[in-house]
Structure 1
């Protein structure tokens, strides 16, 4: 998610350009921890007690709450201070946490990231891990990413440290006749990522290998925002006399989303209207069935329905899909399903009106994802995208339940290797697939 400079709807009721909020658990004293997606962030401390950026990072992380932006003379993005490759230790210097275990879990994964992914942290001032963030977001006034700790917990004690709250957008889709779902799977349909919801029977502890795919998925999404608003070639020309927010605003013509819009704009206006309601809570002046939504989506260039919400999310979803393919050989399932008819429903009560596996290979998506990925990574990816384009998307079966369809499509056309399913389907998992970062 992104929150752009000068837009503070996040701090107001049903207001966020792209922030995620949550409700309380009935205890009035706790509701202030997160109001409509704006976490309180009252318990932050540097992950490294020796961090040279400690106080400056703490001040920067929360300055957006005063509708101000971090001054470059106080703290500058990692890539402004460091010209060469970043190391995990460089990243840890900018890490703020509410609990030390969050930083431990985060850094366990970061230390295994490829060098070009480590370098994607260059546009950041701060990385924030706090008990009350839900879900994650990037903010242009701080040049910071704020990570939902549900992507980090390893056992029940750590889960209990997390403020239990719902995503404040979770009811927005109730007025619409469809749900938009997405998941990453291996070519045989097995899940790539694990559920982030604690379950005492099926998901009560997680190893680093189980945390890594989901956290990677989240990180490349939020880092896409950071590199979109502050592209790699702009780091060396920042105006150190002013704020990071003002710098980002001044280079709007160089944002990657601007280039994408100019070269390959999305054309399904009806889906943009639906996305404003689905993710932003706007009143829906019209509705679409799952079949109608899929009919508009399939021939357009979005990697995911979330990409129709803002240009920033369009960029992030395209990059996320490419990076999951690159790092995990994963393909994306996307679908528009029926809305549930009963209160206590299962994932197979969500009936597919339109769905597709390997969406990244859709011919209208390929050039858009390539433009975004090459711009962010500063690499020639022609060979990679030739391989993606040759793999071809496959329809998910109409009329199947969302979970039932996961293993119903087995195609050699994008069979790269086989994996064992990390965990069995459970009633919690589809909840992780309903709303994006």
Structure 2
């Protein structure tokens, strides 16, 4: 998700940004903590008490609430201050938390990240972890990412520290004829990521290995936004006399989303209209069945339906799909299902009208994902995409339930495992809710 301070479009969406996350339950009497996806951020402190950026980082993290942007003379992106590779310690110095355990859990995963992923933090001023962030987002007026702590909790005590609100966009789909779902699985259908929802019987605590895939998924998405709005090769030419937001706006012609639109623009206008309604709550005169949505989506180049919401989300979903394939041997399932006709439904009551596994391998998606990934990573990925190109996307079975279809299709040709697959994870009543909205 991205948020640019300025014009409010479709609830919290602004000129070049947007929103996404997963559902939850709200505690009565605490709505002031987060209104329409904008967290209060009232309890932030530096994760490292010795950080030289402490006060400047705290001020920067919340300055967008005043309609202002962080000044470069007060705090500059990591990659402007530090030449060369970043270390986990560099990142920890820009980390703000509402609870210290959030920083501990976050850094446990960050310390295991590959060097080229650590370097994706270079366009950031701050990384914010707070009890009331939901959904996660990137903000161009702060050059910061704001992380939903549901991706970080390890036990019930930590879960209880998190504000149990529902994602503010959860009601946008209630009157729509379809749901758009996405998940990452191994070629045998086993889940790659774990549920972020606490369940006393089946998901009461999580190890680092269980947290890491989902947090990685979220991080590469938000870091794609950061590197899109402030491309890696532009850090050295920032104007220190003005704000980071002004710098980013002046670089609009160099944004990765701009190049993507110019060379491989999406063409399904009907899906763009539906995405504005689905993710932004806009009114729409048009409607589509799951089958019609799939027919428009399949031959176009988006990695996920969320990519139709804004150009920024188009970039982030393409990069996310590539990085999950690279790091976890994960393939993406995408589907349009019928909306449930009753309230207490299960995941298999979501009947597939169109679905696909290995979406990244779709011939219209690959060149777009390669452009984005090479631009963000500053690497030649021809060998990697040649491997992806050898794979054939597979249809998810029409008429199956969303969970039933997970193991009904095997992607036999997508077997390049260099690591042992994660142990199987049993479907639970909350997992499919995690798949309904985006970061």
Q: TM-score, normalised by structure 1?
A: 0.97
Q: Which residue of 2 aligns with 1:170?
A: 170
List, as ranges, runs of 4+ consecutive aligned residues in structure 1 with deviation greater than 6 Å.
Answer: 21-24
Q: Does 1:345 align with 2:345?
A: yes
Cα distance per residue 1:107-161 (max 9 Å; x no partner): 0000000000000000000000000000100000000000000000000000000
- Contact 1:69/1:141 (8 A) holds in 2: yes
SS in 2 for 1:127: strand
Q: CA RMSD in A?
A: 1.3
- Give 1:64-75 correspondences, 5 Å limit: 64-75=64-75
Q: Does 1:182 align with 2:179?
A: no
SS in 2 for 1:334: strand
Q: Which residue of 2 aligns with 1:15?
A: 12
- Quick one: distance in 2 between partners of 1:421 and 1:191? 9
Q: Which residue of 2 aligns with 1:209?
A: 209
Q: Which residue of 2 aligns with 1:299?
A: 299
Q: TM-score, normalised by structure 2?
A: 0.97
Structure 2 unaligned regions, length at least 5: none
- Quick one: distance in 2 between partners of 1:351 and 1:156? 33
- Contact 2:19/2:438 (8 A) holds in 1: no
- Give 1:61-100 correspondences, 5 Å limit: 61-100=61-100
Change (3 A) 1:80 1:301: same
Cα drift, residue 175 of structure 1: 1.4
- Contact 2:46/2:54 (8 A) holds in 1: yes
Q: Which residue of 1 aligns with 2:357?
A: 357
- Quick one: distance in 2 between partners of 1:249 and 1:94? 23
- Quick one: distance in 2 between partners of 1:189 and 1:20? 25
Q: Which residue of 2 aligns with 1:327?
A: 327
- Contact 1:172/1:277 (8 A) holds in 2: yes
- Give 1:32-431 correspondences, 5 Å limit: 32-417=32-417, 419=421, 421-431=423-433
Cα drift, residue 412 of structure 1: 1.5
- Contact 1:20/1:168 (8 A) holds in 2: no
- Contact 1:24/1:31 (8 A) holds in 2: no
Work out the number of aligned pairs and report it: 433
- Contact 2:20/2:438 (8 A) holds in 1: no
SS in 1 for 2:390: helix
Structure 1 unaligned regions, length at least 5: none
- Contact 1:20/1:37 (8 A) holds in 2: no
Cα drift, residue 423 of structure 1: 1.7
SS in 2 for 1:175: coil
- Quick one: distance in 2 between partners of 1:376 and 1:330? 20
Higher relative contact order, chain-length normalized (CA < 8 Å, sep 6+): 2
